[in-house]
Amino acid sequence: MAKTLTRSGTSSGLGVDAAVARQLLGDMLLIRRFEEKAAEAYALGKIGGFLHLYIGEEAVAVGTTSMLRPDDYAISAYREHGHCLAKGSDPKRVMAELFGRRDGLSKGKGGSMHLFDKGTNFLGGHAIVGAHLPIAVGVGFAIKYRGGDQVIVCYFGDGAVPEGEFHEAMNLAALWKLPVLFLCENNRYAMGTSTDRALAQTEIWKFAETYGVPGERVDGMDVLAIRDAVGRAVARARTEKTPSLIEADTYRFRGHSMRDPAGAVYRTREEVEREKLRDPIVLFREKVVSAGVLSEADARAVEKDVNDRIDEAVAYADASPEPPGEWLFTDIYKES
Amino acid sequence: MAVMTYRDALNMALREEMRRDGRVFLIGEEIGLYDGAYKVTQGLLKEFGPQRVVDTPIAESGFTGVGIGAAMVGLRPVVEMMTFNFALLALDQIVNSAAKMCYMSGGQFNVPIVIRGPGGPAAQLAAQHSQSMETYFYHVPGLKVVRPTTPMDAKGLLKAAIRDDNPVIFIESETLYHVKGEVPEDPEFLIPLGKALVRREGTDVTVIAYMGMMYRAMEAAEDLEKEGISVELVDPRTLRPMDTETIINSVRKTHRCVVVEAGAGFAGMGSEIGAFVTEQAFDDLDAPVERVTGANAPMPYARNLEKLKTPSKDRIVAAIRRVCNVNGS
Ligand SMILES: Cc1ncc(C[n+]2csc(CCOP(=O)(O)OP(=O)(O)O)c2C)c(N)n1
Ligand SMILES: [Mg+2]
């Protein structure tokens, strides 16, 4: 993962060749299977605390990351398994973190909500809604300060938009012209609160106008549409240091967390079933197979490979020992 | 008396106070349509309607400020923090606005607001969602801080907090919501703020604890009873203003004092209690005040490390034996 996938000439009209299609499909499937296994492990008590699944939203992380370079940065909230995996983290170490084991990305100290991977420039895993938006602006500040041409993608939910930090961050990034891509994953709910009960302006992309930066809304279930929108925003950020706001129209198929049943009071079962028809993985698979970019056998091979990697990840996490007791007191400060 | 959960006792207190006083309203995230993230406000939207049970977007500083403004001009808001971790976003409003309004205005504007919700350690929620929050608030003159240990206290203290004319920080616990106990059904049952309670009488040592740590200290006390050590347990219930008198009286009787707290020990509750006990009852002490506290580390996610972070019964027992000068078996 985390290779820049560029458009390449194909006769399919989809704008992706077989290699890119294989990668996009594989990356989305990897996240899906990873989380299905995580849900099983949660039921078995191997994972504790809060576990927020990204199932249904995979196209956003995968489409976005496919337009980044490995040295670009990404930062996210607590529903971040997908963003972290897409950025290139080893599923084995991510699963070990969820299990609270010593080989986890954060040595078992962070858990599901606090994935960090310095090796892939993935900056977390933040569980206080809105907190990481100004942090993303700080990363943009540092990029510009050092004269680099990287970008930072900041993923956040519709629920962060009413927080002051969203507005402070947008204004600062716009005012100082920083290479930040604000990527709002609008899945229509913040826990049980629908956007129309939380926002005076429910068309989130329009906040971009207020701050004088480009903004657009994109179908968050269409990985190719996301690649287009993100591609434009990343180009602007790299060359002109212009921040952008993209609102991806997406949907979470599961409950808010494992503690919230999927068909809870705030949405109907029919709505959830209807949205599942937009499953980004199913749609993309159909699209590439029917366009002849991938054969049915190719797609099956991708699936098989993903299943093997996830089985390996679970086995690895299971085998990894608990962190030693002394680690309670390490990493509180950086020892230099 | 009825037997009910801590959660239901809080719900009863809110319901009774809303029935009694039309100025009382609730505001916070997921408290209405969703019936509360932890179901404390269950059924209240149905009974009182959306004017008095106000669902908010995720905007803690904003809706806390709204509560303060409404309180300045005569309403009595009860603000729910889904968990107290998020109260940090509203810390400026709480510390610089609510706590100081009365003083800054020379007594013209008081702020009768309750800010409530669960806080303290919770199962495997890691560093940002599992932490003891009271220290951030009890340092501030102008705030009252309550930590109710039992269902009865939850009801009586919350009602007193709502009737109080000052800002009250009322920190519950996610891990206690399901605990059952006897609760008076009398709608005039109140527990005054600033009054500690001796939960268990004893003669050899005073142990001060609250919330989950009180339950753990109770188990330790029962174990030690079998060894012939008689433990007196004191629950401060209100951390500010603190009922120093009840604590000092107990220490004068037992001559020994152990403070147990879940939070990190450095500059924690035990530091303050240790200081005033030493100042006021130095000559009565037969041993230095001991503190059994949470480790001075953030909360780790891993289950085994998490266990090491919070005081265990064994650590409480060991501290009590130490001050009583008894070697463990
Ligand atoms: C400051 C803050 N307030 C409240 C919460 C509790 N909380 C956790 S997730 C969440 C909903 C956020 O929804 P959204 O941003 O839309 O993200 P989604 O869960 O839909 O991915 C809430 C209210 C929190 N973590 N942080
Ligand atoms: Mg959302």
Of the candidates A178, A179, A124, the residue with the CA atom closest to the CA atom of residue A156: A124
pTM above 0.90, yes or no: yes
The verdict on the CB of residue A43 being under 6 Å from ligand 1 is: no
Is A328 within the bounds of a domain?
no
Catalytic residue among B17, B60, B134, B261: B60
The verdict on the CB of residue A192 being under 6 Å from ligand 1 is: no
What is the maximum span of chain A, computed from C-alpha positions, in angstroms? 59
| CB-CB neighbors (< 8 A) of B86 in chain A | 128-129
Is there a catalytic annotation at residue B172?
no
CB-nearest to A48 from B124, B127, B298 is B124
| CB-CB neighbors (< 8 A) of B29 in chain A | 191, 193
Is A131 within the bounds of a domain?
yes
Percentage of chain B beyond pLDDT 90 is: 99
Of the candidates B121, B126, B189, the residue with the CA atom closest to the CA atom of residue B159: B189
Is A327 within the bounds of a domain?
no
Ligand 2 center to A252 CA (angstroms): 8
> Which is it for the CA torsion A23, A25, A26, A30, positive or negative?
positive
Mutate to test the pocket of ligand 1, among A161, A183, A188, A191 (most ligand atoms within 8 A of CB): A191
The verdict on the CB of residue A191 being under 6 Å from ligand 1 is: yes
What's the order of all strands across the beta sheet hosting B53-55?
A: B53-55, B24-28, B76-80, B114-118, B168-172, B144-146, B238-240
Which amino acid residue places its CA nearest to atom 13 of ligand 1?
Answer: A190
Closest Cα of chain A to B264: distance in Å? 12
ipTM of the complex model: 0.95
pLDDT at position B253: 98
> Beta partners for B258?
B207, B290
Is A9 within the bounds of a domain?
no
pLDDT at position A12: 61
Total tally of structural domains belonging to chain A: 1
Is there a catalytic annotation at residue B129?
yes
pLDDT at position A6: 47
Is A303 within the bounds of a domain?
yes
| CB-CB neighbors (< 8 A) of A49 in chain B | 123-126, 129, 301
The verdict on the CB of residue A154 being under 6 Å from ligand 1 is: no
The verdict on the CB of residue A187 being under 6 Å from ligand 1 is: yes
Is A153 within the bounds of a domain?
yes
Please identify every stretch of chain A with a pLDDT value under 70, giving residue numbers as ranges.
1-12, 262-263
Is A331 within the bounds of a domain?
no
Interface of A with B in 49-68 (CB under 8 A): 49-50
| CB-CB neighbors (< 8 A) of B124 in chain A | 48-49, 100, 111
Contact B298 A332 (CB under 8 A): yes
Is A3 within the bounds of a domain?
no
Tokens of A157: 């939910």
Tokens of A210: 């207020």
Contact B123 A199 (CB under 8 A): no
Tokens of A65: 């990351």
| Residue with token string 């302006």 | A201
**pLDDT tens sequence across B186-235:** 999 999 999 999 999 999 999 999 999 999 999 999 999 999 999 999 99
Strand positions, DSSP E, chain A: 73-76, 122-125, 152-157, 180-186, 189-190, 193-194, 215-219, 244-249
pLDDT string in tens for chain B (329-residue length): 999 999 999 999 999 999 999 999 999 999 999 999 999 999 999 999 999 999 999 999 999 999 999 999 999 999 999 999 999 999 999 999 999 999 999 999 999 999 999 999 999 999 999 999 999 999 999 999 999 999 999 999 999 999 999 999 999 999 999 999 999 999 999 999 999 999 999 999 999 999 999 999 999 999 999 999 999 999 999 999 999 999 999 999 999 999 999 999 999 999 999 999 999 999 999 999 999 999 999 999 999 999 999 999 999 999 999 999 997 65
Residue A56: CATH number of its domain? 3.40.50.970
Query: Given CB atoms, is A261 within the 8 Å cutoff of chain B?
Result: no
Give the domain range for residue A258: 18-317
Residue A130, amino acid = G
Ligand nearest to the CA of A52: 1
Q: Are A155 and A61 in contact (CB under 8 A)?
A: yes
Q: Are B292 and B214 in contact (CB under 8 A)?
A: no
Query: Given CB atoms, is A124 within the 8 Å cutoff of chain B?
Result: no
pLDDT at position A10: 45
